[in-house]
Chains A and B, each alone.
Chain A
Amino acid sequence: MIHSISNIKRSKRDYIVKSFKRDWQLYLLMVLPLIYIIVFKYVPMGGIIIAFKDFIAKKGIWGSEWANPLFKYFIAFFNDFNCMRIIKNTLTLSLYGLIAGFPLPIIFALCLNYFKNRKIKKAIQMITYAPHFISTVVIVGMLMAFFQTRAGIVNQLLSSIGIAEIDFFGTRGTFPHMYVWSQIWQSLGFSSIIYIATLAGIDPSLHEAAIMDGATKLKRMWHIDLPGIIPTAVILLTLNLGRILFVGFEKVLLMQNPINLNQSEIISTYVYKIGMTSALPRYSYSTAIGIFQSVVGFLLIIIFNKISRKFTDSSLF
């Protein structure tokens, strides 16, 4: 017995040595990318230690004193009068974006799927993808140009149907709507790609059989196409739910002004302001808030993935 176990061990080691000898070029190739991953992804994770220290730049990460109590900066965050407001704003923006934006690409894909003319179909796809490639800065610039008071097209269209001019950027309460709907405008075509491809992959014999049985198009859409894309939709939903605390940071930052700040300050912009732009940057505090955001996001992904695996057959990992 003992003899055979050591034999197995030896043969396993031989196997490893042999495959290293065989695949050494592959390992060599991975060295550079792995160095990148370690340096730029994992080393900063070590840096989150400053959330537990009274970080002073001159003393460095290791030279700085431990915070007392250790969770000082986390406690400070939960006691911050901004805390509830920025969490609420973050959740509002992302949930609003999700509820309004999630079904539309599916609807768009379903509609396109029943559109006959191939050439026009291609053209529609091309044009609706285009906004995806416009940068956030330009999108915000467009919003500002369109929603201007005098020369903006939106107000000009409103006044042509007799509605008084609205100062969209200078009015409270307009921010979430402009943010979310411009997001939907930008992503509609591109988000639908995956659904369009899934629909194209549905077995045509299902449709043929349904037609033989006398099913209407509406029925086929409901009983064949929709169930066909649900697994894809669930995966995407899971991904989106996991990112619920990560609202489009750049766009919010660019759209902020003193008037909408009450609604537009989100966790990420707060982290940025506290850590980078204030006269006295508070690195430890800012990092603590960032960790809160990352940990909650991470847990959400795990939880939603578990749920989606339980109720459907699809999961991310």
Chain B
Amino acid sequence: MNYKERGSDKVFTMANNILLGILFLIVAYPLLYVISASLSDSNAIIQGRVKLFPVGFNLDGYKAVFSHGSIMTGFFNSFFYMTVGTLVNIILTIMIAYPLSRQKLIGKKVISLMLVFTIMFNAGLIPNYLLIDTLDLIDKRAVMIIPKALNVFNVMITITYFKTTIPKELLESARIDGCDDINFICKIVLPLSRPIIAVITLFYAVEHWNSFFDALIYLNSKSLLPLQIILRDILVQNLISLDMVSSIDPDTLQSSEKLAVLLKYSLIVVASAPLMVLYPFIQRHFVKGVMVGSVKG
């Protein structure tokens, strides 16, 4: 469009950009600070010399994180729960979402209603815990995967996506060629659904990677704990065992305390990195996948 900005529009644009800039800085500054602090000298952090960029650049915090036994165990456990869990999620989601997206399926309404109801009403903590106990899943790896095998909200998004992007004519012509439903899904629906699969992969992966409470109530064995529980001990409850710090600097208690400050920032970065890395790959599918799905799902 070609037109000249008038005076009042210039003021508007400026005010608009200033407001946008302020909002952006408020969101971005803490992120930048965490990264800078994680790369700084621990003395500089404590004395408040880190404001924007790293001061006294070093990687001690990261060394401490990667040489810490339970952090690494937690990291690999979380990675396992995330990959296996997400795979299960995706398969089950497609298995129910595709049939429910088909127009003429008898009983579709009843099943959809059954699903939607679970979004609005749930039994609560204790009945769920008793069920897990009855199923003998307490303190097993499976408890991090099976009870979360499906997320109804994601199913709804996927249904809407299928409904709006897979043309009926495609199914009809496939039928004429003698294609059955399962073949149709594998050979036609799935290749056409990359955006939505990318998006729900991200949603499920985030859910698994960040899940904390299930692990808190259902897991006891140290060897099974996901990263988030270890993070809570270190970041929130301040339980940093000295043995892990001493491997780097055995000198004094004071210096290990200093390292503990640094380690927290490095840990925040390391714990968040996997999803941040995943996100840009999926972002380009985002608008297509999410918007088509969630508007009036």
Contacts and interface: CB of A to CB of B under 8 A. Distances in A.
Interface of A: 16, 19-20, 23, 25-27, 29-30, 32-34, 36-37, 39-48, 50, 61, 104, 107-108, 111-112, 114-115, 124, 126-131, 133-138, 140-142, 144-146, 150-151, 153, 156, 159-160, 185, 188-189, 193-194, 197-198, 200, 208, 211, 216-218, 232, 235, 242, 249-250, 253-254, 268, 271-272, 275-276, 283, 286-287, 290-291, 293-295, 297-298, 301, 314, 317
Given A29-B95, A135-B271, A275-B125, A128 B27 contact: yes
Interface in B160-189: 180-182, 185
Size class of the contact patch on chain B? 35 or more
B217 to A, nearest CB: 6
Contacts of B276: 130, 133
Given A217-B12, A271-B124, 13 more contacts: A33-B96, A37-B114, A37-B150, A111-B19, A114-B16, A126-B280, A128-B27, A129-B279, A159-B48, A217-B13, A217-B16, A254-B236, A290-B123
Given A25-B182, A283-B126, A211 B3 contact: yes
Interface of B: 1, 3, 6, 8-9, 12-13, 16-17, 19-20, 23-24, 26-28, 30-31, 33-34, 37, 45-46, 48, 50, 92-93, 95-96, 98-100, 102, 104-106, 111, 114-116, 118, 120-131, 146-147, 149-150, 152, 155, 180-182, 185, 206, 209-210, 212-213, 217, 228, 231-232, 234-236, 261, 264-265, 267-268, 271-272, 275-276, 279-280, 283, 286-287, 290-291, 294-296
Nearest to B20: A111
A47 B129 CA distance: 10
A192 to B, nearest CB: 10
Contacts of A153: 33, 37, 48, 50
A31 to B, nearest CB: 9
20 contacts: A30-B95, A34-B111, A44-B123, A44-B128, A44-B131, A115-B17, A124-B20, A137-B235, A138-B272, A141-B234, A141-B236, A211-B1, A232-B295, A250-B212, A271-B126, A276-B217, A283-B130, A286-B125, A298-B120, A314-B296
